[in-house]
Amino acid sequence: MSIKSVLLALGVACAMPVAAAAAPTAHDGYHDFDFETGAWTTRVRVLRNPLSGATPDWADYQGTSVIRPLMDGRANLVELSVAGTRGKIEGVALRLYNPQARQWSLNYASIHDGLLTAPVFGSFDDKGRGLFYGRDMLDGRAILVRFVITQLSATAAHFEQAYSADGGASWEVNWIADDTRRPSAM
């Protein structure tokens, strides 16, 4: 699927219910996030000055992510708590599955300000890679958001968020997270 068709579908999705925006596929994503249930050690790199044109200012953090299934797996809650020399990032993500569209919405709120960011919508392919797109605002201008989740193994996952200010022609990565599953407590 081309970026143009994804963005076109996203534009329709923002104007209409998600179910009307996406044609069903053979893949039922109901269990796409099952692999992530549990506790993870999380390493995060955050670009503190995205889409500024300035020299990149990256900050590194480390901590935990705890993922809990809700509603028999049709939703899950992510608790993120990481810290570094630049401070702490704490927040929650609520992920909701839409069975008619066979898509997930990812909804994040920072504990810092208690506000939800604009959601991103998408699904996983048969290789365990999730692509999610949305619209947001950054410093007063409209941007596109792309979030990619890659299940590397049963014990490792990779996450990248990128912004685009030019309609998806180019993307700047601003969030990189690598998760490693924590051993189960016995």
Please give the Cα distance from 68 to 9 (Å, whole number).
30
Q: What is the pLDDT along the chain (186 residues), one digit of tens a residue?
A: 445 444 444 443 443 334 334 454 566 888 899 999 999 999 999 999 999 999 999 999 999 999 999 998 899 999 999 999 999 999 999 999 999 999 999 999 999 999 999 999 999 998 889 999 999 999 999 999 999 999 999 999 999 999 999 999 999 999 999 999 998 754
Give residue limits of the domains in the chain.
29-181
Whether domain 29-181 has CATH 2.30.38.10: no
Partners of residue 80 on adjacent β-strands: 65, 91
CB neighbour list of residue 15: distance below 8 Å, 6 or more residues apart: none
Helix (H, G, I), strand (E, B) or coil at 65: strand
Please give the Cα distance from 159 to 59 (Å, whole number).
16
